[in-house]
Amino acid sequence: MATSVIVFTGVFAIGDPLEILLPADASMAEREQVAESLGLNDPLPAQYVRFVTDAVQGDFGRSFVYNRPATEVILERLPATLELTFTALVISLVIGIPLGLWAGVAAGSATDETIMTGSILGFSLPNFWQGMMLIMIFSVTLGWLPSTGRGETGSLFGIETSFATWDGLKHLLLPAINLALAQTALVIRLTRTGVQETMPLDFVKFARARGISSPRILFVHVMKNILIPIITVIGIEFGSLVAFAVVTETIFAWPGIGKLIIDSINALDRPIIVSYILIVVTMFIVINFCVDALYSLLDPRIRVSAQ
């Protein structure tokens, strides 16, 4: 309820969509007709009651621009965004965890300093600047990868995705790397901190005393203990990637919900904006629930405590 009030107040009570939807020379009769068809003539309390009543039934209204149900337009674009964010998340984990383990084991060495300096750059450089540099280097200068669009998609398990074609993968790579840079730096730091905190513990010393090899201690015993904070943060960050992929999708013209929300804000397409916000909020809630469920699978102590 609180979210609905905030969303409605922040979106429906600001601006006049008619100024954008209609030409400047539109007559008053035309303005009245469009306003009546969109329900903009009703008082704000009446609009809010209608908005909540329809939203409970899963109806967030029809897009002013596309003249289609707003939820349908967003769900049509959502797979492209999920594809991009999932790829970025995988890249950050595949690169970040090994580098974090390496830096944690070699703490204080030149290798550790190099890796941590690189992670600082990942945090510090603006996302839009990184994107432009990637385009300039790999698209303009080297000509290896395309800079815009989703490319050709194919069917994989009945789902239209870029993973099914080589052209789609080439179009996906640059925006995914751009989105993954900050997350990779975060994973490196989380992993390194976890390794440094876990290695001096008694169970690691006992494992060494039993003659267990160092790689097994690191990748089995230590990893099992540091995965919980990593999964916690990454789960939350996945929701953030979905919500804040706007810059990357705009730079690379990726046809996801991030680019859609920017276009909708420029056009004051209120139903699309409201649907986007509420869908993202719902995704955050679902992701947090899934992260909590993973706790008990990774840490037996949580299962025992719950019992």
Q: According to the model, what pLDDT value does residue 56 have?
A: 74
Highest mean pLDDT among 51-65, 103-117, 145-159: 103-117
Q: According to the model, what pLDDT value does residue 17 have?
A: 61
Helix (H, G, I), strand (E, B) or coil at 219: helix
Q: According to the model, what pLDDT value does residue 16 have?
A: 62
- Higher model confidence: residue 306 or residue 100? 100
Band of pLDDT at residue 302, cut at 50, 70 and 90: low
In this prediction, residues 31-41 reach a mean pLDDT of: 67
Sequence-distant (6+) residues with CB within 8 A of 86 are: none
- 153 in Cβ contact with 162 (< 8 Å): yes
| DSSP letter assigned to residue 137 | I
In single-letter form, the type of residue at position 51 comes to F
Query: Long-range contacts: 139-146, Cβ < 8 Å, 24+?
Result: 139/174, 145/170, 145/171, 145/173, 145/174, 146/170, 146/171, 146/174
Sequence-distant (6+) residues with CB within 8 A of 60 are: 54, 69, 70, 71, 271, 274, 275, 278
CA distance 95 to 46: 52
* H or E segment and range at residue 84: helix 70-105
Range in 53-62, 187-196, 293-302 the model is least confident about:
293-302
Nearest alpha carbon to residue 13 among 53, 52, 40, 50: 40
CA distance 99 to 185: 10
Q: Which residue has the tokens 């409605």?
A: 8
Task: Please state the separation of Cα 244 from the chain's center in Å.
Answer: 6
Residues of the chain by 3-state class (helix, strand, coil), percent to 5: 75, 5, 20
Could you read off the pLDDT of 187-246 as tens digits, one per residue?
888 888 888 888 777 777 777 787 777 778 777 778 877 877 787 778 777 777 777 788
Is the model's pLDDT at 275 over the cut of 70?
yes
Helix (H, G, I), strand (E, B) or coil at 154: strand
CATH number for the domain running over 71-306: 1.10.3720.10
Highest mean pLDDT among 33-42, 175-184, 259-268: 175-184
CB atoms within 10 A of CB 59: 15
Q: According to the model, what pLDDT value does residue 276 have?
A: 83
Could you read off the pLDDT of 252-270 as tens digits, one per residue?
888 888 888 888 877 777 7
Could you read off the pLDDT of 7-30 as tens digits, one per residue?
667 666 666 666 556 666 666 776
Q: According to the model, what pLDDT value does residue 22 have?
A: 61
Band of pLDDT at residue 305, cut at 50, 70 and 90: low
Nearest alpha carbon to residue 238 among 174, 288, 298: 288
Domain coordinates in residue numbering, the chain? 2-53, 71-306
Mean predicted lDDT score pLDDT of the chain: 79
- For the full predicted model, state whether its pTM sits above 0.85: no
Q: How many residues does the chain have?
A: 307
CA distance 36 to 249: 34
Nearest alpha carbon to residue 104 among 204, 245, 32: 204
- 218 in Cβ contact with 104 (< 8 Å): no
